[in-house]
Structure 1
Amino acid sequence: MSVRHHLTAGAALAIFLAAPALAAAPAKPVPSPATGLTDPRSLVSLVNPQAGPVAAADLYFSRGGLDAIWTADGKAAIVSTNLTGRFNLWRVEADGSWPVQLTQSDDRQSGLAASPDGKWIVFQADTGGDEMYDLYAVPVGGGPVINLTNTPDISETTARFSPDGATLAFAAKRKADAGSNIAVMGWADHKVRLLTQEAQPEFSWAPVGWVAGGLIANRGNLGSTLMGVWRVSLDGGAPAPVTSVKTKAVIAATAVSADGKTLAITSNEATGQNHAGVLDLATGASRWLKPTPWDQTSGDFTPDGKSLAVIDNADGRQSVSLVDVATGAVRGLGLPDGYTDQASEISFTADGRMLLSHEASNSPFDYWVADTRAGTAKPLTHLGLASLDPARLPSAQIVHYASQDGTVISAVMTVPFNLKRDGTAPAVVIPHGGPTGQTQDRFSRGAIALASRGYVVIQPNVRGSTGYGMAFQMANHKDLGGMDLTDEVYATRFLTATGYVNPKKIGITGGSYGGFMTLMAIGRTPDVWAAAVSQYGIINWFEMMKHEDAALQQYQRSLIGDPVTDKAVYEASSPMTYIRQAKAPLLVLQGENDIRVPVGQAREVVATLKSVGATVDAHYYPAEGHGFVKRENQIDAMQRLIAWLDKYLKDQ
Structure 2
Amino acid sequence: MVGMTESTESMPDWEKRFRAPRVGLPDWAEDAPDHSLFVSNATGTYELYAWDRAAGAQRQVTDRPNGTTDGVLSPDGRWIWWFSDTDGDEFGVWLRQPFRGGEEGERPADEPAAPGLAPSYPAGLALGRDGTAVVGRSTDEDGSTIHVVRPGGEPEEIYRHRESAGVGDLTHDGTLIAIEHTEHGDAMHSAIRVLRLDGTAVAELDDTKGGTEELGLSVMGFAPVAGDTRLLVGHQRRGRWEPMVWDPLTGVETALAIDLPGDVGADWFPDGSALLVEHSHHARSELWRYDLAAAELTRLETPAGTISGATARPDGSVEFLWSSAQKPPRVRSTSGRTVLDPPGFTAPESVAVTDVWVDGPGGRVHALVQKPEGEGPFPTVFDIHGGPTWHDSDAFAAGPAAWVDHGFAVVRVNYRGSTGYGRAWTDALKHRVGLIELEDIAAVREWAVASGLADPERLVLAGGSWGGYLTLLGIGTQPDSWALGLAAVPVADYVTAYHDEMEALKAMDRTLLGGTPEEVPERFEASSPLTYVDQVRAPVYISAGVNDPRCPIRQIDNYVERLERRGAPHEVYRYDAGHGSLVVQERIKQVRLEIEFAQRHLGSGPRPAPSAPSEPSEPSARAV
Counterpart check, 1:265 vs 2:226? no
Q: Supply the RMSD in Å over aligned alpha carbons.
A: 2.5
Distance change in 2, residues 1:223/1:648 (3 Å): farther
- 1:485-500 correspondence runs (5 A): 485-500=438-453
Aligned with residue 176 of structure 2, among 190, 214, 230: 214
Matched residue, 1:320: 287
Aligned with residue 166 of structure 1, among 131, 139, 143: 131
Structure 1 residue 129: Cα displacement: 1.0
Matched residue, 1:193: 156
Matched residue, 1:205: 166
Counterpart check, 1:59 vs 2:59? no
Counterpart check, 1:461 vs 2:414? yes
Matched residue, 2:374: 419
Contact in 2 for aligned 1:217/1:229 (Cα 8 Å):
yes
Q: Whole-Å Cα distance in 2 between the matches of residues 490 and 307 of structure 1?
A: 43
Q: Whole-Å Cα distance in 1 between the matches of residues 463 and 65 of structure 2?
A: 25
Structure 1 residue 511: Cα displacement: 0.7
Matched residue, 1:122: 81
Deviations 1:386-435 (A, max 9, x none): 46333xx10113321112x262111121122x2124x3x11110111122
Aligned with residue 136 of structure 1, among 83, 88, 95: 95
Q: Whole-Å Cα distance in 2 between the matches of residues 196 and 412 of structure 1?
A: 43
Distance change in 2, residues 1:439/1:242 (3 Å): same
Return the letter of the residue paired with 1:498. Answer: S
Matched residue, 1:182: 146
Matched residue, 2:270: 303
- Per the normalisation by structure 2, the TM-score is 0.87
Counterpart check, 1:352 vs 2:327? no
Distance change in 2, residues 1:223/1:617 (3 Å): farther
Structure 1 residue 633: Cα displacement: 1.4
Q: SS state of the match for residue 288, structure 2? A: strand
Matched residue, 2:478: 525
Aligned with residue 516 of structure 1, among 460, 469, 475: 469
Q: SS state of the match for residue 437, structure 1? A: coil
Q: SS state of the match for residue 297, structure 1? A: strand
Structure 1 residue 563: Cα displacement: 1.1
Structure 1 residue 235: Cα displacement: 3.2
Matched residue, 2:189: 226
Distance change in 2, residues 1:223/1:57 (3 Å): farther
Percent of residue pairs identical:
23
Matched residue, 2:404: 451
Q: SS state of the match for residue 485, structure 2? A: strand
Contact in 2 for aligned 1:66/1:87 (Cα 8 Å):
no
Matched residue, 1:543: 496
Contact in 1 for aligned 2:325/2:352 (Cα 8 Å):
yes
Matched residue, 1:290: 258
Unpaired segments ≥5 residues, structure 1: 1-51, 371-375
Q: SS state of the match for residue 571, structure 1? A: helix
Distance change in 2, residues 1:238/1:148 (3 Å): same
Aligned with residue 395 of structure 1, among 352, 370, 378: 352
Return the letter of the residue paired with 2:192. Answer: V
Contact in 2 for aligned 1:306/1:326 (Cα 8 Å):
yes
Q: SS state of the match for residue 558, structure 1? A: helix
Q: Whole-Å Cα distance in 2 between the matches of residues 140 and 353 of structure 1?
A: 24
Return the letter of the residue paired with 1:134. Answer: V
Counterpart check, 1:626 vs 2:585? no
Structure 1 residue 131: Cα displacement: 1.0
Bigger mean CA offset, 518-527 vs 152-161 = 152-161
Deviations 1:572-607 (A, max 9, x none): 111111111111111111101011111122222222
Structure 1 residue 183: Cα displacement: 1.9
Q: Whole-Å Cα distance in 1 between the matches of residues 571 and 68 of structure 2?
A: 32
Counterpart check, 1:608 vs 2:576? no
Aligned with residue 339 of structure 1, among 306, 315, 323: 306
Distance change in 2, residues 1:66/1:218 (3 Å): farther
- How many residue pairs were aligned? 579
Q: SS state of the match for residue 458, structure 1? A: strand
Aligned with residue 368 of structure 1, among 332, 348, 373: 332
- Per the normalisation by structure 1, the TM-score is 0.83
Aligned with residue 577 of structure 1, among 519, 531, 551: 531
Query: Which of structures 1 and 2 has the larger relative contact order (alpha carbons within 8 angstroms, sep 6+)?
Result: 1
Counterpart check, 1:484 vs 2:440? no
Contact in 2 for aligned 1:415/1:456 (Cα 8 Å):
yes
Structure 1 residue 357: Cα displacement: 2.2
Counterpart check, 1:410 vs 2:366? yes
Return the letter of the residue paired with 1:315. Answer: H
Matched residue, 1:598: 552
Contact in 2 for aligned 1:294/1:313 (Cα 8 Å):
yes
Distance change in 2, residues 1:328/1:648 (3 Å): farther
Contact in 2 for aligned 1:409/1:461 (Cα 8 Å):
yes
Contact in 2 for aligned 1:178/1:549 (Cα 8 Å):
no
Distance change in 2, residues 1:119/1:249 (3 Å): same
Deviations 1:555-576 (A, max 9, x none): 1111113212311111111111
Return the letter of the residue paired with 1:216. Answer: A
Q: SS state of the match for residue 380, structure 1? A: strand
Deviations 1:483-532 (A, max 9, x none): 32121122222212332321111111101111111111111111111111
Distance change in 2, residues 1:224/1:383 (3 Å): farther
Q: Whole-Å Cα distance in 2 between the matches of residues 507 and 275 of structure 1?
A: 36
Structure 1 residue 630: Cα displacement: 1.8
Q: SS state of the match for residue 430, structure 1? A: strand
Q: Whole-Å Cα distance in 2 between the matches of residues 304 and 563 of structure 1?
A: 50
Matched residue, 1:86: 45
Q: Whole-Å Cα distance in 2 between the matches of residues 249 and 581 of structure 1?
A: 39
Structure 1 residue 439: Cα displacement: 1.3
Structure 1 residue 548: Cα displacement: 1.3
Bigger mean CA offset, 286-295 vs 452-461 = 286-295
Contact in 1 for aligned 2:114/2:149 (Cα 8 Å):
no
Structure 1 residue 314: Cα displacement: 0.3
